[in-house]
Amino acid sequence: MSVVEQIQIPDKLFYKINEVSTLTQVKPYVLRYWETEFPMLTPEKDEHDQRRYRKGDIEIILQIKRLLYDEKFTIAGARKQLKVMCEGGQAQVKSFEGARPGSHRVRRINSSLTELRRDLAEICKIIA
């Protein structure tokens, strides 16, 4: 089950940063930092300069969280992975230290990447 499928996002037009923080379990200062690092994460701001996140923004945040915390990507690696997925590219598993083709580890990683590609494609459709 993917990160996006695990969290029930309430159906509304806009979400405040504290709501997003609670839903995603990511601190507000981290969300603000991620905005500077991930160009696809750009919540609108209202007349009082308060962030207004949309459902698509929350889904991107969940993918970033998955890449950084679960998949252990660096910020640069996660940014690149999101960009590749949004552009419709295919990330390929080339080699893994100590893993033979067809090994359990390679199959598990391929499965994770396939799930991640599917989730990112859904997000790209939403934000496009």
Q: Please report the pLDDT score of residue 104 as a whole number.
A: 58
Q: What is the pTM of this model?
A: 0.64
CA-to-CA separations, 87 to 68, 75, 78, 80, in angstroms, rounded: 20, 18, 14, 11
Strands 51-52 and 44-45, by their bridges, are antiparallel
Q: Is 90 exposed, middle or buried (0-12, 13-18, 19+ CB in 10 A)?
A: exposed
Tens digit of each residue's pLDDT, the chain (128 residues):
444 446 778 788 899 999 999 999 999 999 999 999 998 898 998 889 999 999 989 989 999 999 999 999 999 999 988 888 776 644 443 334 444 555 556 666 767 777 788 888 888 778 76
Q: Which fold has domain 3-127?
A: Multidrug-efflux Transporter Regulator; Chain: A; Domain 2 (1.10.1660)
Domain range list for the chain:
3-127
What SS3 class is residue 45?
Answer: strand
